[in-house]
Amino acid sequence: MEIRFPMWARVVERPGAWVFASLSAVEALSRSLIAGILPLEAERLFRDAQRISLLYTAIGLVAFVSSFLVPLVMRRVRRRWVFSAGVGCMIVAPLLLTLASVASFSAALQLRAFAVVAVNISLNLYILDYIRRKEFVTAEPMRLAYLGAAWFVGPALGIFLYKSFGLPAVCIPSAAFAAIALGYFWFLRLKEHPTVAPATRRQPMPWHYIRRYLRQPRLRLAWAIPFCRSTFWTTFFVYPPIYIVRQGGSETLIAMMLSAAQGLLFVAPVFGRLGRRHGIRPIIVGAALFCGTLCILAGVLQPGPMVTAALFVTAALGAVALDALGNIPFLRAVRAYERSEMTSVFRTYIEASQLVPAMAYAAVLTVAPLTSVFVVLGLVLLVGAWLGRYLPRRM
């Protein structure tokens, strides 16, 4: 007699692309809800851009160290517990924000930094286990679309709740969405069974392969370009909102700026098609040049709130083009037999883009005004455009 299992049981047995996309979206919604209010709370609590940069330097250091420690922990602890610990930190972090003190704010950001690393690494490993290689072409664009929707809605909604009802009205829903993500994850009952990669497998440690990575010029170039692009986004979510507030701009304007920039992610497939038709090198060079020039203009002109928001939303179009194509040089340059080892090193550009710029901004702000951050950011992107010229023409 044939036994028919309900549909949900089949999904849990082997999750498909939409399951991981929805899990990623719920987790991202938890983070994006408070992303827009973090610079506002930082400005309210610290009132000093240099102190804020020093705080974000410490946060970047936590994230960078965590990116090396999480794979080491996975040697001893099953992956499900690493993911659960990360999401648990996402629950605690916004609740700490409600205390509205310098100490609780700093602790919340540190927990959030660790959570992002733990969740991203463990979730990506689950995706590699359960999604077949030939399905990546459809699975990753779907996940990007779900993430884009979460980041399009989250920052603006968070600022609206913050402005209308206060800090707890943002932080409690953020913690609730993290709890939903954790419950959904355990409902899926993801396993490290023999048909997929077990958690007890020895994971390659990034520091074992840094020297080999740095010996390959194309891989060095492939790291530098995403680093420049990621630097734009880490700066965009902190310093333009602070500048707009200091210039008398409203929280509503900040919400519109953040959501409009994130909404541009939906045009990323257009840049993918242009890259296939014309090659990625001219688009990467042009996008970095375009984005960097607008950032420098924002720093030199020191415009009012509306113009600042418009400049950064327009600059975000170049950053989206780099999002769409910036990882391709690595995918084409890495050797197949060392892909996993080199990937563990390559992804450190994410944490480095939080740590290095924050350190640079803290130094610059000792002698220059807040708008100098925009000039430094623009110069970083211009360096990215200059480096992009060394990409092979056939790309």
Domain ranges of the chain: 10-203, 207-395
Q: Which two tokens stand for residue 106?
A: 């700093």
**Burial class of 57 by CB neighbour count within 10 A (0 to 12, 13 to 18, 19+):** buried
Given this model, what pLDDT does residue 13 score? 56
For the ranges 141-145, 226-230, 330-334, 341-345, the maximum mean pLDDT occurs at 226-230
> What letters, b where the CB count within 10 A reaches 16 and e where it falls short, cover 332-365?
ebbeeeeeebbbbbbbbbbbbbbbbbbbbbbebb
Given this model, what pLDDT does residue 32 score? 92
Given this model, what pLDDT does residue 103 score? 93
Instruction: Output the DSSP codes for 289-301.
Output: HHHHHHHHHHHHH
Question: Quick check: 198 pLDDT over 60?
Answer: no
C-beta neighbour count of 269 within 10 angstroms: 13
Measured at the CA of 321, the angle between CA 320 and CA 327, to 5 degrees, comes to 95
Q: Round to whole Å and give the CA distance between 287 and 229.
A: 10
Within a 13 Å sphere around the CA of 45, how many CA atoms are in the beta-carbon half? 19
Phi (first) and psi of residue 3, to 5 degrees: -100, 125
Given this model, what pLDDT does residue 296 score? 97
Residue type, 345: V
Given this model, what pLDDT does residue 192 score? 61
Instruction: Output the DSSP codes for 249-274.
Output: --HHHHHHHHHHHHHGGGGHHHHHHH
pLDDT bracket for residue 139 (50, 70, 90): low
Q: Round to whole Å and give the CA distance between 382 and 388.
A: 10
- The domain made up of 207-395 has a fold known as Growth Hormone; Chain: A; (1.20.1250)
Given this model, what pLDDT does residue 363 score? 93
Q: Tokens 């541009």 label which residue?
A: 264
Given this model, what pLDDT does residue 3 score? 43
**What's the whole-number mean pLDDT along residues 63-78?**
81
- The domain made up of 10-203 has a fold known as Growth Hormone; Chain: A; (1.20.1250)
Q: Which two tokens stand for residue 117?
A: 């690393």
Given this model, what pLDDT does residue 194 score? 45
Alpha carbon of residue 331 to chain centroid: 19
Q: What is the pLDDT of residues 249-267, one digit of tens each?
A: 998 999 999 989 988 888 8
**What's the whole-number mean pLDDT along residues 334-342?**
70
pTM: 0.83
Q: Which two tokens stand for residue 335?
A: 């050797």
Contacts (Cβ under 8 Å, ≥6 apart) of 44: none
